Structure 1
Amino acid sequence: MHKPGEIRVLALGIVRQGDRVFISEGYDPVKQQTFYRALGGGVEFGETSLEALQREFQEELQAEIKNIKYLNCQENLFTFNGQPGHEILFVYECDFVDPKFYQIEEITFMEKKRKKRALWVECDRFRSGELRLVPEQFFKYLS
């Protein structure tokens, strides 16, 4: 996790196919709420956000990405597990190199010591409010 009062810089990649998106599932134990966010992770000192995005997809999913297109940079202020958070998000759109990733329903991966799930989700499930997408500004990338 991050230290209190720290602003984290993240690179996140949105992978779409038709009207579905490959997305990571998270859970906030304090809010007792499941949420979904784009895959990716922290930018390390000395690496660009693009390099971080490629590294994170490789580390978490053993996946190479292509057709990487920068979309936006945005700030995200939030509360997770009862703690305030502050992130600067570099948002990219990308595709998987290996077509097998478009065939599978979900992948379980490790993030630090936490077991997490990444899965294909129909975008309508976020639009209808059935599932919670974070940050909410990401809705604009699903249209």
Structure 2
Amino acid sequence: MGKSGEIRVLALGLIRDSQRIFVSEGYDPVTQSTFYRALGGGVDFGESSILALQREFQEEIQAELTNIRYLGCLENIFIFNGRQGHEIIQLYECDFVDPKFYQLDSLIFSESENHQHRAIWINIERFTSGELRLVPAEFFNYL
């Protein structure tokens, strides 16, 4: 989460394997709701979004990406943990280099010292049916 009143630029990777996508699980303590989004993270000043995407996957889950293809730009204005957030998302489609990532049920990774996250493969149907929540909603345009 960036500082209040700050627009964050993110690079996220949409990884598909047939009817499922690889997403990270998030939880909002205020609304007590679970949500899912593509993995990736913030773009640093002077860094291209494609390099940020590769660096974030390397840092978070030690994964190399291949077949990286730019999909588009999304703007996400939202409330999380009772605070307004604003993100500009550079969205890429990509694949894992190492086939082991496609065999995983779930993976626990740390974004920072005290933030543990779970990344999992989820069937797209669970999002389109409304059973689970994928954010931002515009993400569906790329599935």
Query: TM-score, with normalisation over the residues of structure 1?
Result: 0.98
Q: Distance in 2 between matches of 1:140 and 1:105?
A: 26
RMSD: 0.6
Q: Which runs of 5+ in 2 are unaligned?
A: none
Question: 1:122 Cα shift?
Answer: 0.2
How many residue pairs end up in the alignment? 142
Q: Which runs of 5+ in 1 are unaligned?
A: none
Question: 1:2 Cα shift?
Answer: 1.2
Q: Which residue of 2 aligns with 1:135?
A: 136
Q: Which residue of 2 aligns with 1:66?
A: 66
Q: How does 1:41-120 map to 2 (within 5 A)?
A: 41-112=41-112, 113-120=114-121
Q: Distance in 1 between matches of 2:131 and 2:74?
A: 25
Question: 1:127 Cα shift?
Answer: 0.3
Q: Which residue of 1 aligns with 2:27?
A: 27
Q: Distance in 1 between matches of 2:73 and 2:131?
A: 27
Partner AA of 1:13 in structure 2: G
Question: 1:141 Cα shift?
Answer: 1.8
Q: Distance in 2 between matches of 1:74 and 1:126?
A: 18
Question: 1:119 Cα shift?
Answer: 0.3
Q: Secondary structure at the match of 1:5?
A: coil
Question: 1:140 Cα shift?
Answer: 1.6
Partner AA of 2:94 in structure 1: C
Question: 1:66 Cα shift?
Answer: 0.2
Q: Distance in 1 between matches of 2:104 and 2:20?
A: 13
